[in-house]
Amino acid sequence: MVILYIDMLGVRSLWHTGGRPAAEEAFKHFWNLVAASLKGETSEAIPQGILESDAAVLMCQSASVAARVCQKLYRIAFEKSKIADDDRIWLRGAIIPAPQLTALRSETSFSGPLNQIKIFEYADELLDAIAVEKSGIKGMRIIIDDSLITSSLITEFRIPVGELFFIPFRHLTNSTYPGRLKNGFQDYLWMASRSEEEWTHYSILMASRLRWAAQNDEEFLQAAATQVVFHECAAIFTSLVKRTGA
């Protein structure tokens, strides 16, 4: 089992500009995007999950399921913005191992006369996933634990480039990994595509989103960090093309 944890960025800014109604509208939009990314999945593939305001946590049967769902979610969210006035969703998340199927959250109460006060506790693996996502990573990224990157996962998601393959799981050179994430974690390059036309579309949209974000310092920081990941992805593709003569 693995845990996929996704956080929607920028909610604080939304609250400052539009108050509670703007935040609630963003939450609903996020939940709809998650629902769209789960179409076609089964209860065996995703046995449990929680949606809570601006975050989603899904217990997935395998890293393959988690990678498939988050790629779909990120791409749907990314493509929702077609013009500058559209609301832009930025996401960040983590995929980490969960040794067994356990409750993601449990509830207890204080004992004695204060038993009306509830205590919610997260599973250890979920706390780890939240810590990874909130460790200081910038940009619309998915961080995955090294132990989940198996040969079968690589084979399933690799992209042919001539006689070589682009592997979308990589410890990036120029995108930072804060603190404990410097070792043992990689990025899942969700924007990498088998279609050159699709990749060009994402690259153009990324450039537009960066330009549109310039009016908001917080959003621009996330957009710029995401653009760096796009550039790293493009550099890897270019290197492979040169090597294989594709």
Could you tell me the domains of the chain? Answer: 2-108+115-244 (3.30.70.1230)
E-strand ranges in the chain read 2-8, 48-52, 55-60, 91-97, 105-109, 118-122, 142-145, 159-161, 164-166, 169-170, 185-188
The pTM of this model reads 0.90
Indicate the SS3 state at residue 58: strand
Residues in the chain: 246
Name the token pair of 99: 């040794």
State pLDDT tens for residues 229-238.
999 999 999 9
d(CA 40, CA 48): 15
The pLDDT assigned to 180 comes to: 83
State pLDDT tens for residues 120-168.
888 888 888 988 998 889 999 999 999 999 999 999 999 999 889 999 9
